[in-house]
Amino acid sequence: MCIILPMDIITTHIGADFDSLAAMVAAKRLYPQAELVFPGSQEKCVRDYLAQEFRNIYVFKKIKHIDLQRVTRLIVVDTRQVNRLGGVAECLRNPHLAIHLYDHHPDTPGDLKGELEEIHPFGSTTTLFVRLFQQRNITLKPEEATLMALGIYEDTGSFLHSSTCPEDLCAAAWLLGQGANLDIVTQFVSRELSAEQINLISRLQQHAQSYVIRGVTVVISILTEEEYIDDFAVVVQRLMVMENIDVLFALISMGERTYLIARSRIPEINVGTVAREFGGGGHASAAAATIRDLTIAEAEERLVGFLHDHIRPKAVAAEMMSAPAITVTPDVSIEQANRLMTRYNVTVLPVVRTNAGHENGSTPTGLLGMISRMVVEKAIFHKLGSLPVAEYMTTDIATLPESGTLADVQRLIVENRQRLIPVVNGEQIVGVITRTDLISLLVNDPGHLPGDLLRGDERPSVERTRNLGGVMTQVLPREIIVLLREIGESAAGLGCNAYVAGGFVRDLLLHVKNTDIDIVIEGDGIRFAKYLADKHRGIVHPHEKFGTATVIFPDQTRIDVATARLEYYEHPAAKPTVELSSIKLDLYRRDFTINAMAIHLNPERFGALVDYFNCQNDLKERRIQVLHNLSFVEDPTRIFRAIRFEGRLDFTITRHTEKLIKNTVQMNLFDRFEEPRFFHELKLILSENDPIPALRRMAGFKLFPFLWPDLRPHPKIDRRFIHSLNQANQAISWFQLLYLSDKVETWMVYLLTIFSRSRTKELINFCHRFDLVPKQRKKLIQQKVDVEKIAQEMYKRPYLKPSEIYWLLIDLQPEGWLYLMTIARKRYIQQAVSLFVTQLRMVKPLISGDELKRMGYIPGPQFRTILNHLIERQLDGAIGTHQQAMDFLRNTYPAVSGKS
């Protein structure tokens, strides 16, 4: 019987480039037993590199040297298309073949499917592997790092291609740290053109012909060569740059085959889609195909036909807009704006500096912002109808000139969530484009439809329905992914939909590990929580009023379950009234856009991102933005969450959101706070690693008088205040770096620091006002009183013995030690605290209580006196051994002893 030994092979597409080669070598680090196999020829520059720079490091085999029937695992990099695997594709017929895929190209019909898939839309496949290496702490040899840098630089066009992602730049930086040699990268990526290539560019120019297809200019150039020409793509790229061409297709016939090289730098043409019509592939900006069974003339004719099908035409804003624009001036009241919307049946009004054109026929000028019906109705509901629209208008408004394109309109309406676009001519508002105008254009002419509405193989510019399964695998522990899958399966079994939402999704997209799981159920959340707890033998704590529950599993894993709900507020700063709702309305009630995303957990859509409001844009741009303009009026605590997120995530609160915060502060809504809810937000801010930037921000918004109205003197951001907070921060950092078992509540240290210049009475009033729990209240007050008393004692006595330091500090809590270090104006006090924390408090009596009993000492109050005296002598260095301790006891307390 013949036994077939199993074999793993790593391969890529035919015509391998540097990204393919680098990805193969990277995969070898993950699959060290696998064979490296090229499915066909490589680009000339790759062959030169292998001959010059990478010899004797890895062995690359040809297909003829591989028994494809032995292949039991196929690792494919930089492609998923079967027709690009050449002869390697034969092993796809092997029974029980395991396929692992690593690729950065967009999905296409007929793509291979694998039991392991790492698919990410980076600028290169190599970037994908670099991120895996970073996660697994894999280091590289300089030669490997250089090759991988080559792959990234080549496939991103030295980071100039539109497909370049921030991850590509980060990956390149990491490779430089691993020893990548940029001289070699420059040698192979930025090569001088040869005389033959210069001649080719000249001939391409001569044979270039421009086509204007649906308003877009496309250049097609055709050449016929008797012999194969390497690096033809380099020539095409250079021609595009030299002639400043937006879209270039080059068809070159070499031997029996015709090759297509395509480049685009405008959104109207996705050359990857066109190349796939010829059986090739690539990205929106760069693609290629090998054309068989067509003459070059037939290929050109077919190419022009495909372009008519796939080009998204330009459309000028002047042709799409509705005119005249219905506008209001900033002094118009919200109630008047509401009546105007009803009269003209519009949902958004631009706010302009002068004259509303609908009333006198003149053209409105000076755009200031816009206000929507939703904001107007909410404001009226909250009895704010008499205020001018300027108070709650949205001010971050993008406009278009009359020559704006369809791509511009789509970008503003879809990506910026702007429901109305003013069309301007200088200062004048000549018309508006609404979402209805855009939809009418798209529906009435399917040729205008963007790719993501037409074909699954078109890569949308904003991936609002992307699947995050791969990201979850990278970021989350396996047990969390398993739990999320079980939650989705349980929801499906109960006939409801389950989502994980909020900060968990935000941090996942930021590639930050977060195991704080909030589940939203479209259905009965409490019923689902009870079912899940029974299934896993856990405990459930329901909260019927809010439709929420907490499930605690046997391993103490906790998840919060909520029924998808809609909240509305009876009056500003009220507690919300809750109604059942859908996931869309549940997300709309969230505080900020970056927290208004969810991930579907049901099996049929597991990992699908739910992003109704295009929140990814705000996450990408690192900005904090509310979902609607009355958000802070309804819940002023969101102001403090905005400040906290800004500091923690290193994001920026948008100018419009800043304006809404200032409006809310001026309304003085803080007196209506439910105090414990407010203190919870303040506590979270003071628990951050460095709350000082947040405190600065709070001072900038004039929030301090609301926080501490009776504090004397009022805290202000002055040099002394900042110095105290910095001292607290340094003390906390020092303590944490000691890695001691003592737990410290850092927010208490900062709060004590803020009250350091105030009387104890003011801290007591603060605790009562915010209804702190008795344990916290007692601890704060006790530490303030004791520490400040100790500080005064230490100022008077700069030369304390170790035992004196010990007795002064032994009864303090860790928060007290750090508060003392914070307010200490003398270095010797800080040194004394450090000595106590790291050494003195660890000292134990050399003789134990049990030993005293055996020596005949009678247990009682004097026991503690004896032991304390012994510790004191040890601390001051008078006693260092057990025998010395014994002698000390016999000499000092002889009358107590019953034995010699």
285-305 per-position pLDDT tens digit: 888 888 888 888 888 888 988
Tell me if 344 sits within 8 A of 358, measured CB to CB.
Answer: yes
Token representation of residue 485: 């899958």
pLDDT band at 671 (very low <50, low <70, confident <90, very high): low
| pLDDT for residue 605 is more than 90 | no
Looking at residue 32, the DSSP 8-state letter turns out to be: T
Work out the mean pLDDT of the chain and round it to a whole number: 84
pLDDT reported for residue 530: 93
Distance CA 56, CA 52 (A): 10
304-330 pLDDT, tens per residue? 888 887 876 555 677 677 767 888 999
pLDDT reported for residue 57: 67
- For the packed helices 827-838 and 802-809, what is the interaxial angle rounded to 10 degrees? 80
**Distance, first Cα to last Cα, the chain:** 90
pLDDT reported for residue 464: 45
Distance CA 262, CA 258 (A): 13
Handedness of CA 440, 444, 448, 454 (dihedral sign): positive
Q: Which residues contact 433 (CB under 8 A, 6 or more apart)?
A: 317, 320, 321, 322, 400, 409, 413, 420, 421, 423
Task: Enter the pTM of the model.
Answer: 0.54
110-159 pLDDT, tens per residue? 889 999 999 998 999 999 999 999 999 999 989 899 999 999 998 888 88
Tell me if 361 sits within 8 A of 386, measured CB to CB.
Answer: no
| pLDDT for residue 451 is more than 60 | no
| pLDDT for residue 440 is more than 60 | no
- Average the pLDDT over each of 519-533, 565-579, 650-664 and give the range with the smallest value: 565-579
pLDDT reported for residue 193: 66
Residue with tokens 């035409």: 313
Tell me if 79 sits within 8 A of 40, measured CB to CB.
Answer: no
pLDDT band at 461 (very low <50, low <70, confident <90, very high): very low
Between 606 and 825, the higher pLDDT residue:
606
- Average the pLDDT over each of 151-155, 582-586, 741-745 and give the range with the smallest value: 582-586
366-418 pLDDT, tens per residue? 899 999 988 999 999 998 999 999 999 988 888 988 878 777 787 788 767 78
E-state strands within 12-140: 35-37, 60-61, 71-77, 98-103, 116-119
Q: Which of 41, 25, 114 is nearest to 74 (CA)?
A: 114
The Cβ of residue 50 has, within 10 Å, a number of other Cβ atoms equal to 17
Name the phi and psi angles at 689, rounded to 5.
Answer: -55, -40
Tell me if 152 sits within 8 A of 127, measured CB to CB.
Answer: yes
Distance CA 745, CA 772 (A): 14
pLDDT band at 53 (very low <50, low <70, confident <90, very high): low
pLDDT reported for residue 58: 76
Element (H, E) at 546: none
Q: What is the CA radius of gyration of the chain?
A: 35
612-670 pLDDT, tens per residue? 777 888 898 899 999 888 888 888 889 999 999 998 898 999 999 999 999 888 887 66
Looking at residue 332, the DSSP 8-state letter turns out to be: S
Tell me if 60 sits within 8 A of 42, measured CB to CB.
Answer: no
69-123 pLDDT, tens per residue? 899 999 999 999 888 898 899 999 998 899 999 999 888 888 899 999 999 989 9
Name the phi and psi angles at 260, rounded to 5.
Answer: -115, 125
pLDDT reported for residue 356: 52
DSSP, residue by residue, 784-816: HHHHHHHHHHHHH-SS--HHHHHHHHTTS-HHH
Give the pairing type, strands 35-37 and 60-61: parallel
Q: Cα torsion for 798, 800, 804, 810, to the nearest 10°? A: 60
pLDDT reported for residue 446: 36
Q: Which residues contact 470 (CB under 8 A, 6 or more apart)?
A: 117, 118, 119, 120
Give the pairing type, strands 497-501 and 517-522: antiparallel
Q: Which residues contact 626 (CB under 8 A, 6 or more apart)?
A: 591, 592, 593, 632, 638, 642, 657, 660
pLDDT band at 572 (very low <50, low <70, confident <90, very high): low
At 333 the three-state DSSP class reads: strand
